Amino acid sequence: MALRRRDFLGSAVVLLAVFGIPPLWRRAFPSFDFVPLDGFPGFRKLDQGPVSSGPVALIGLDAPDPSIAAERAELLKAPCAALFENHKPEDGLPIALFSDYNCPYCFVLSERLIRLEESGAPIRLVWYELPLLGDRSDRSAKAALAAAEQGQYIAAHRYLMRKVLPPGPFGLRQMAQELDLDPDKLLRDTGGEPVASSLRKSKALASALGVIGTPATVIGRTLVLGSISATNLDQLIALEAQDGPCRCLN
């Protein structure tokens, strides 16, 4: 895939962070206003840009659902390992993204991160579906997770970020045809336990992190609430890479 200038510059920033940042260039970093992240020792958070949320934003996140509350309690026994899913230092800098297919800010940020990873930057993306914005969000999230069962999550993610998935089997079969997926398996998996379990985990982690809107991104040890500019994203990735692996991942 041909790299755009934006992708190349982003990759260069991260590579500089890994192989050494000259002192003068380090001083060009912005002064981020970090605050400690409750419940995640060694982590911090950063409020950045706008988020997408709505009347349903707190459903399942403020723990009225016993299954979500139980999942959250279990995850908090080892939150870092749960968040980054058995990450290894050689995998690169871990970045977890919580997104919703109805969220315009999520489209921009997720595509930026995908292109950065594709360009060869030493990062590893971990994806969390957080459908907060209604039925379209929910059925799209389930479709993406079902596609992941066939090893096609990124292709499905990009497809669903650009298209409205109609309700019912027709939309899923059309998606399967365009992405060369097994349509019958896709339909079965959207209602299966692995997809339901993945959504419970996403809601439990969002609740633990204090996330009530999308996008939300955990870059190394920093939770970013809201959208983030391309420049700040590149510079925050570089800072996190410079600091080495999160303590919980050592």
* pTM recorded for the entire structure: 0.82
- pLDDT tens per residue across all 250 residues of the chain: 334 444 445 555 444 544 344 444 444 555 788 899 887 888 899 876 655 655 544 444 554 577 778 888 888 788 888 888 877 777 889 999 999 999 989 999 999 999 999 999 999 999 999 999 889 999 999 999 999 999 999 999 999 999 999 999 999 999 999 999 999 999 999 999 999 999 999 999 998 898 988 999 999 999 999 999 899 999 999 998 887 666 555 5
Q: What is the bridge-based pairing of β-strands 123-129 and 44-47?
A: unpaired
Please compute Rg for the chain using Cα positions: 18
- Taking the C-alpha atoms of residue 193 and residue 190, their distance in angstroms, rounded to an integer, is 9
Q: Rounded to an integer, what distance in angstroms lies between the CA atom of residue 132 and that of residue 37?
A: 22
What does the pLDDT read at residue 179?
Answer: 97
Determine the Cα–Cα distance for residues 96 and 215; give it in Å rounded to an integer: 10
Which residues, listed in sequence order, are joined to residue 218 by a DSSP beta bridge?
96, 223
Q: For residue 210, what are its two tokens?
A: 């204090």
The whole-angstrom separation of Cα 214 and Cα 38 is 19
- Specify the pairing of strand 35-36 against strand 44-47: antiparallel
Which string of DSSP letters, residue by residue, matches the chain?
A: -PPPHHHHHHHHHHHHHHH---HHHHTTS-----EE-TTSTT-EEEE-S--B--TTTTTTTSS-SHHHHHHHHHHTTSHHHHHHTS--GGG-EEEEEEE-TT-HHHHHHHHHHHHHHHTT-SEEEEEEE---S-HHHHHHHHHHHHHHTTT-HHHHHHHHHHS---SSHHHHHHHHHHHT--HHHHHHHHTSHHHHHHHHHHHHHHHHHT--SB-EEEETTEEEES---HHHHHHHHHHHHHH-S-GGG-
